[in-house]
Amino acid sequence: MAGYTPMIQQYLKIKAEYKDCFLFFRLGDFYEMFFDDALTASRELEITLTSRDGGGEERIPMCGIPYHSAENYIKNLVDKGYKVAICEQVEDPKMAKGVVKREVVQLITPGTVMEGAMLDEKENNYLASISRFQDDVYGVAYNDLSTGENHVALITDGWQAVVSELFNRPIKEIVVSSELEESFQQDIKDRLRATISYQNGMDIDDSFTHLISALPDERYVQAFGRMINYLQSTQKRSLDHLKPVQVIQLKQFMSLDMYSKRNLELTETIMRKGKHGSLLWVLDQTVTAMGSRMLKKWMERPLLTRSAIEERFNLVTGFLDQFIERDMIREALKSIYDLERLSGRVAFGNVNARDLIQLKVSLSKIPEIKQILQQFTSQRIQRLAEDINPLTDLYQLLETSLIDDPPISVKDGGMIKDGFNEQLDKYRDASRNGKRWIAELEQKEKQATKIKSLKIGYNRVFGYYIEVTKANLHLLPENKYERKQTLTNAERFVTPELKEKESLILEAEEKSVELEYQLFSMIRDQVKTFIPPLQELADRLSQIDVLQGFATVSELNNYHRPTFNEEGTFDIYQGRHPVVEKVMKHGAFVPNDVKMDPEKDILLITGPNMSGKSTYMRQLALIAIMGQIGCFVPCESANLPIFDQIFTRIGAADDLVSGQSTFMVEMLEARHAIANATENSLILFDEIGRGTSTYDGMALAQAIIEYLHDHVRAKTLFSTHYHELTSLEQTLDKLKNIHVRAEEYQGKVIFLHQIQDGPADESYGIHVAKLADLPDQLIKRASVILSELENKQDSLSEVVEKKSDDQQLTFFVYEEDKPSADRQPKNKAETKLINELKHLNLMEMTPMEAMNELYRLKKKAAEE
């Protein structure tokens, strides 16, 4: 380092403390980057790479951006997962002895963004931390720095449960111990695609003890300790807006693992990764950014407590019954700015006068909102009005202090109203009167000199001056004017009288601007004391917004209020898929019923591809989720159980990142459901077993169905193309066959999308291929092959037999069961069975008939 210039040495010293960040090093009006930072930044930001002499043997790579337009560049880097350390000059260059002192004043990371332009207003920006305790228990903490909210949860089900929990929220950055296993860190990068940061300290400073007073034990405290230590080390400024930590009791909410959230497309679609086409897209009828964020939180954690669900329903009903008042509420809420994030910026100190005017406008609407809520006949909605604090004192402070259209900068003056501060009024009076005196002086000098073009001007270098063109210089009186500046066509002068007034005016203006900034800082500090009630107000308004949104979407889409039962009955009449019916361009959505009583746990669904099996299964889960977040549901009527968990295996997407095939992913998701489901869970399995050979797939599918039936007993929808499985209805009491209707007409298949009892009669696979416009020659050849296969069935190579001890089917014949070539029958009964086997014409049987015949013979052998 010794060979470098002092400035480059300073850069390298600071960079050494922020090795994993881009260091934005302030030089005059630019943020400069050097060495590897410059090489990477020039590529990522598409800016010019240059170089400079830094005192070493080679020129140093360098690139830079103007400080006043840095926000967009920082956003670009942060969106790509990078961190940016802002290094500012912290002393006046004029006062510096040697190199200007510089320090990192803020570290901007994907999880700690505060600037409005970098944030999605309808999306939380979460930072998470993971702490590992004994017995494979993990503490997960969440923070949204822009809103101040903090949450913490304990997870006792291992690492995969941690990943599922983190997948449930929009996590941008995850803080871990530097000692966390490398495989876990890689899992975070690959599956959650989050930036990893490190923080080992977990002790909490005394100034933050008020945030953790409600935490039940030390593990929760330590989990949050890692988070707050990271925030302190990166932000280097006030964190007064942070809310007390709330404990997430995971058992109080429906559990939606990462597979279910993805497969059901709750907040984003699988293909496009966007909101359009998701359940959130349909349900979001909120009008505020705060309400939209709260809706997403409710969707991530559906309720399990019946009374809490019914309370939401009662409020939605109240809003639904009075359209005019609800519409008035929507209009009033449209004037409410993002109070949560405004509070954060106030505490952070980066709020400007326009932000505070937005706050004032929002507060001005609160009395109107309270008045409208009191007009509802529902007493519950009226109580919502009673719980709203209008923060009148804060409104009066902003109303009396700030003008309605202040400038963006808080250091140029022009923000504070006349009459707010006596000293400021005096400065302004001196400035205004002085400028009036200047205007009067100009007129007087014009008259005295008879020079009509004479004018008095001002610039920052020379101050006030009298300008006279050279053609009129002879008209000026001698010894009164002092020459100040010579121009090409004019001369500029000053007089003793002008100098005196200039001093008074400039002093007044300078002191006025300085005083305004002091007053604004004082106002901002006063606003900061209102942050807790302001955050509570934001929470109340967000709830009102979500509830009126539920009423609005229910009215628009003809949703109805469901009822709940504790008997395990699932009875939906004319149910619809909320998203599919919204995006359908041609024809109306075909509604279907769902009936599952306590005696029927499994619905085995058969039917051709494209007939609507997956849609039917998904709509069942979405109706359950909508009901448990407090929204009415798309059907004519619904009587639902309260599900504690929903598990899905729908679709076929290879996990390319981890190198796992479709079939492996399918088996892992199936295992996850089987291992964690309870009697109060809902399981959706779509064509399990199709990723392997026919017999392997059918064997696994049947074994899974039997295990769910005998051991798990969760409500299950299981779709399949293995028509042989429909015979399970005869042996499994709680299984029922249903199918999706399709009819063949003039050689074409017509999908009716109607669910009916019983199994499907055929799969129509070739008809579906024809609809996909495969070549005619290919279709004809497939039909010939199908005909040959149907008329010439291969014999089964493996015997399907029923175990007598545990009633489970086995699909494998073990070595000790194989008859040897020289083995002779033991008795006449055995001889008779062998003869029956020999005379079976398997070529004339369907696979199902062959299996039934084998089962009959096996049973007969056991009896004899």
Q: pLDDT digits over 594-605, tens only?
A: 999 989 999 999
Residue 815 pLDDT grade (very low, low, confident, very high; cuts 50, 70, 90): very low
Lowest mean pLDDT among 166-170, 371-375, 806-810: 806-810
Ranges 129-138, 455-464, 852-861, most confident: 129-138
pLDDT at 182: 93
Does 612 count as an annotated binding residue?
yes
- The pLDDT of residue 806 is 43
**pLDDT value at position 32?**
96
State phi, psi for 815 to the nearest 5 degrees.
-55, -40
**Domains 422-524 and 563-761 fall in the same CATH topology:** no
Q: Calculate mean pLDDT across residues 669-690.
A: 90
- Residue scoring higher pLDDT (377 or 837): 377
- Check residue 63 and give its pLDDT: 96
Residue extents of the structural domains in the chain: 6-108, 116-252, 284-391+530-557, 422-524, 563-761, 801-863
CA dist., res. 483 & res. 492, Å (int): 6
Query: What residues contact residue 606 under an 8 Å CB cut-off, 6+ apart?
Result: 719, 720, 721, 723, 726, 737, 738, 739, 740, 759, 760
pLDDT of residue 212: 95
Pairing of strands 801-802, 809-810: antiparallel
- Of residues 167 and 808, the one with the higher pLDDT is 167
Enumerate the β-bridge partners of residue 52.
60
Region 459-465: mean pLDDT is 85
Burial class (CB in 10 A: 0-12, 13-18, 19+), 460: exposed
| pLDDT of the residue at 814 | 41
Mean pLDDT throughout 636-658? 78
CA dist 138 and 151 (Å) reads 14
What DSSP letter does each residue of 393-405 carry, written as one string?
HHHHHHHHHB-SS
Query: DSSP string spanning 628-664?
Result: HHT--BSSSEEEE---SEEEEE-S---BTTTTB-HHH
Cα separation, 247 vs 265, in Å, equals: 27
Which whole-number Å values give the CA distances from 468 to 174, 435, 464, 498, in the listed order? Answer: 68, 20, 13, 15
In the block, tokens 């929009």 appear at: 170
Higher pLDDT, 621 or 858: 621
Distance of CA 497 to the CA centre of its chain: 66
Which residue's entry shows tokens 């700015």? 337
Structure tokens at 427: 């400065």
Q: Say which CATH superfamily domain 116-252 falls into.
A: MutS, connector domain (3.30.420.110)
Other beta carbons within 10 angstroms of residue 730's beta carbon come to: 11
pLDDT at position 767: 64
Whether 818 has a pLDDT exceeding 50, the answer reads no
Beta-carbon contacts of residue 575 (< 8 Å; ≥ 6 apart): 591, 592, 593, 594, 619, 620, 623, 633, 634, 635, 638
Interval 121-139 mean pLDDT:
93
- Contact in structure between 395 and 533 (CB atoms under 8 Å): no
Task: Give me the CATH topology for the region 6-108.
Answer: MutS, DNA mismatch repair protein, domain I (3.40.1170)
- Dump the DSSP string for 524-550: HHHHHTTHHHHHHHHHHHHHHHHHHHH
| Model confidence at 394: pLDDT above 90 | yes
Q: What is the pLDDT of residues 237-260, one digit of tens each?
A: 889 999 999 999 988 999 988 888
Interval 166-194 mean pLDDT = 91
Supply 312's token pair.
């939401």
| CA gap 152, 224 in Å, rounded | 7
pTM: 0.82
Q: Please check the confidence at residue 485 and state whether its pLDDT lies above 50.
A: yes
> Vertex 785, ends 783 and 791: CA angle to 5°?
105
pLDDT of residue 320: 97
* φ/ψ of residue 56, rounded to 5: -85, -170
Eight-class DSSP state of 252: G
Per-residue burial over 793-828, b if 16 or more Cβ lie within 10 Å, else e, is eeeeeeebbeeeeeeebeeeeeeeeeeeeeeeeeee
The region of weakest confidence among 50-59, 272-281, 443-452, 754-763 is: 754-763
365 annotated among ligand-binding-site residues: no
User: Distance (Å, rounded) from C-alpha 603 to C-alpha 738?
Assistant: 7
Structure tokens at 253: 């909410």
Does residue 549 have a pLDDT over 90?
Answer: yes
pLDDT of residue 426: 87
pLDDT tens for 738-789 read 998 877 666 666 777 889 999 886 666 666 777 777 788 887 777 777 777 6
* pLDDT at residue 493 is higher than 80: yes
Query: If you average pLDDT over residues 364-379, what whole number do you get?
Result: 97
The HSE-up count of residue 167 (CA atoms within 13 Å, CB side) is: 23
- Average model confidence (pLDDT) for the chain? 87
Chain Cα centroid distance, residue 59: 45
Query: What CA–CA distance (Å, rounded) separates 526 from 518?
Result: 12
Which of these ranges, 194-198, 301-305, 744-748, has the smallest mean pLDDT?
744-748
Q: Are 180 and 196 in contact (CB under 8 A)?
A: no
Is position 470 annotated in a ligand binding site? Answer: no
Query: CATH fold of 284-391+530-557, please?
Result: MutS, DNA mismatch repair protein; Chain A, domain 3 (1.10.1420)
- Distance CA(569)–CA(564), nearest Å, equals 9
Pick 841 or 94 by higher pLDDT: 94
Mean pLDDT, range 541-570, rounded to an integer: 96
CA 4 to CA 324: how far, in whole Å?
73
pLDDT in tens, 660-669: 567 787 888 8
Residue 47 CB neighbour total at 10 angstroms? 15
Q: What is the CATH number of domain 422-524?
A: 1.10.1420.10
Q: Is 607 annotated as a binding residue?
A: yes
- Full DSSP string of 314-330: HHHHHHHH-HHHHHHHH
CA distance 763 to 720: 10
* Residue 663: predicted pLDDT: 78
The domain 563-761 is classified under which CATH number: 3.40.50.300, 3.30.70.980, 3.40.30.10, 1.10.3720.10? 3.40.50.300
Handedness of CA 245, 248, 252, 256 (dihedral sign): positive
- Token digits for 782? 């497939």
